[in-house]
């Protein structure tokens, strides 16, 4: 397709997306949507924009996994209301059984032209079916399902790949719809459809595949999502599934999932407040809290290769556009640090390559900056540096993360021993004093360094500790009083 033709198609795509929310000049000539495709009224709490989401609480339910040959599933336990719990478990089982039925081609969904390729009464020779929770916070449980099937047709394989989802309000056991995702005062259909149209346009306007450009084929312009659109939720946003029920998509015998990050629809994201309650609905107390990815991902990626003393130095920059430029301007130059490492090693060993990476990201109100420098030779040498700032622009010290009286150094000491595979680090206290860190949505990334001594070379360590290891009540990040 020529560039000009692509641009025309993208223009038609975006024009098509706005139609559902504009007045129809002649509604009698337009087919009425099916009842199930209409947008329902939001359930749960009335949530009005703008919304602020400092963090989310993990639902204290047990995920009971069950593994069979080619089939993985789970059930839940821990709700006070056993009727709601049984209703949710029954829905999960029913969805799995539905996916199992597709082993027989006669039961397959009505993909365009499927029986021309896969005759009826054909049985799949290989298949894999499974499910996993994608979001389990603030009384909402989101579950993704998948099914992959291979049919042998005269010695050739035909494949079918399916995605599905269920989303539950744990307070009632009821299923969520698209209407529940955004605030009551927002135009949910237009907000989400416009973002999906941009994802489609970006994908169609490129001959290359990138992580944010899924392979998409359209048979007609995209006209927006429906009220019964399939979706699941994650800690980074909403994921909409398009398949045989969306005739404008033509991706063969498979579904395509398009991601709308929270950052694109803030401050209208209501899912974290939609079903909150004053009392607990669980048998166990809430002990977990995490952040969501509410900021732009590290989209400002830059790559560069330079040669220093005959060594290729690869430089990568992963910088979130949400991080203010003033922070990025104060980052150390990782290339110069890598040059110094090359100078230290090149007379001892032949160097294969070297790397100089820079990262800048945001989690909640916190800005994290880090560099990673490495030199690859007979032995691999690396150095890390990191720093974290709070919303006021102040440097966050390690002790600032924990409530007074909590002996966090004991936990870190055990984590260092576990990750280093050593029980006898010669100066553990100095290593603990050297620790730097950045925050992630679900935990803390640490790095530490000990300089060389007469008996050993320099010592580096990097490790990750989930917030749950410390306990929500011991972290100032989740001050919930």
Same domain, 255 and 372: no
Query: Residue written as tokens 């049985």?
Result: 123
Domain boundary among 235, 268, 290: 290
Would you list the DSSP string of 115-135?
Answer: HHHS-TT-B-SEEEEEEEEEE
* In a domain? residue 295: no
Query: What sections of 330-477 are H helices per DSSP?
Result: 334-345, 408-420, 428-434, 467-470
Number of structural domains (the chain) is 2
Is the model's pLDDT at 208 over the cut of 60? no
Instruction: Give pTM, 2 decimals.
Output: 0.86
Q: Is 464 exposed, middle or buried (0-12, 13-18, 19+ CB in 10 A)?
A: middle
Q: What is the DSSP letter of 328?
A: H
Q: Convert the pLDDT of each residue in 34-92 to its tens digit.
A: 888 899 999 999 999 999 999 999 999 999 999 999 999 999 999 999 999 999 999 99
Query: Using an 8 Å Cβ cutoff, are 356 and 320 in contact?
Result: no
Same domain, 316 and 403: yes
Query: Residue written as tokens 């203010």?
Result: 324
31-40, 116-125, 281-290, 371-380: segment of lowest average pLDDT: 31-40
Q: What is the pLDDT of residue 10?
A: 37
Same domain, 353 and 245: no
Average pLDDT, the chain: 88
Query: Residue written as tokens 């290769």?
Result: 305
In terms of Cα–Cα distance, which of 253, 254, 228, 230 is closest to 241?
230
Same domain, 308 and 441: yes
Is the model's pLDDT at 111 over the cut of 80? yes
Is the model's pLDDT at 334 over the cut of 50? yes
Q: Convert the pLDDT of each residue in 211-270 to its tens digit.
A: 455 677 777 888 899 999 999 999 999 999 999 888 888 888 988 899 999 999 999 999
Q: Convert the pLDDT of each residue in 95-107 to its tens digit.
A: 999 999 999 999 9
Report the 10 Å Cβ neighbour count for 420: 15
Same domain, 22 and 140: yes
Same domain, 337 and 365: yes
Same domain, 223 and 114: yes
Query: Using an 8 Å Cβ cutoff, are 74 and 93 in contact?
Result: no
259's enclosing H/E stretch is strand 256-261
Query: CA 255: distance to chain centroid?
Result: 19
Domain boundary among 269, 290, 311: 290
Percent of the chain with pLDDT over 90: 66
Query: Using an 8 Å Cβ cutoff, are 139 and 276 in contact?
Result: yes
- Could you tell me the two tokens for 68? 């069979």
Q: What is the pLDDT of residue 3?
A: 41
Query: Using an 8 Å Cβ cutoff, are 58 and 288 in contact?
Result: yes
Is the model's pLDDT at 432 over the cut of 90? yes
Same domain, 224 and 361: no
Same domain, 315 and 274: no
- Could you tell me the two tokens for 408? 């966090």
């Amino acid at each position: 397709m020529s560039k000009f033709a692509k641009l025309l198609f993208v223009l038609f795509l975006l024009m098509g997306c706005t139609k559902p929310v504009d007045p129809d000049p002649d509604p009698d000539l337009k087919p009425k949507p099916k009842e199930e495709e209409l947008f329902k009224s939001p359930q749960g709490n009335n949530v009005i924009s703008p919304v602020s989401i400092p963090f989310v609480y993990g639902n204290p339910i047990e995920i009971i996994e069950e593994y069979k040959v080619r089939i993985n599933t789970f059930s839940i336990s821990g709700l006070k209301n056993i009727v709601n719990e049984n209703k949710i478990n029954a829905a999960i089982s029913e969805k799995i059984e539905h996916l199992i039925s597709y082993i027989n081609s006669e039961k397959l969904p009505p993909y365009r032209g499927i029986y021309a390729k896969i005759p009826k009464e054909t049985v799949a020779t290989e298949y894999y079916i499974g499910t996993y929770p994608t979001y389990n916070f603030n009384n909402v449980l989101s579950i993704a399902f998948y099914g992959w099937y291979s049919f042998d047709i005269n010695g050739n394989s035909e494949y079918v790949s399916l995605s599905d989802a269920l989303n539950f309000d744990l307070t009632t056991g009821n299923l969520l719809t698209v209407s529940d995702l955004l605030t009551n005062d927002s135009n949910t259909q237009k907000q989400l459809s416009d973002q999906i149209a941009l994802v489609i346009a970006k994908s169609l306007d490129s001959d290359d595949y990138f992580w944010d450009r899924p392979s998409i084929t359209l048979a007609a312009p995209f006209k927006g999502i429906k009220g019964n659109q399939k979706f699941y939720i994650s800690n980074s946003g909403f994921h909409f599934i398009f398949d045989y029920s969306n005739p404008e998509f033509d991706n063969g015998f498979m579904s395509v999932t398009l991601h709308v990050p929270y950052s694109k629809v803030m401050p209208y994201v209501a899912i974290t407040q939609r079903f909150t309650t004053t009392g607990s609905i669980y048998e166990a107390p809430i002990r977990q809290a995490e952040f969501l990815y509410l900021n732009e991902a590290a989209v400002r990626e830059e790559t560069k290769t330079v040669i220093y003393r005959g060594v290729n130095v690869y430089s990568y920059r992963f910088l979130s556009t949400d991080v203010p430029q003033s922070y990025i301007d104060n980052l150390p130059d990782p290339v110069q640090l890598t040059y110094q490492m090359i100078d230290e090693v090149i007379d001892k060993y032949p160097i294969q390559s070297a790397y100089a990476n820079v990262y800048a990201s945001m989690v909640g109100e916190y800005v994290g900056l880090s560099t990673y420098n490495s030199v690859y030779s007979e032995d691999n040498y690396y150095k890390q540096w990191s720093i974290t700032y709070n919303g006021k622009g102040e440097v966050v010290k390690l002790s600032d993360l924990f409530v007074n009286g909590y002996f966090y150094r004991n936990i870190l000491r055990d984590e260092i021993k576990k990750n280093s595979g050593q029980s006898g680090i010669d100066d553990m206290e100095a290593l603990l004093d050297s620790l730097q860190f950045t925050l992630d949505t679900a935990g803390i990334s640490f790095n530490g360094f000990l300089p060389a001594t007469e008996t050993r070379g320099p010592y580096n360590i990097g490790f990750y500790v989930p917030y749950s290891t410390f306990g929500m009540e011991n972290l100032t990040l989740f001050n919930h009083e």
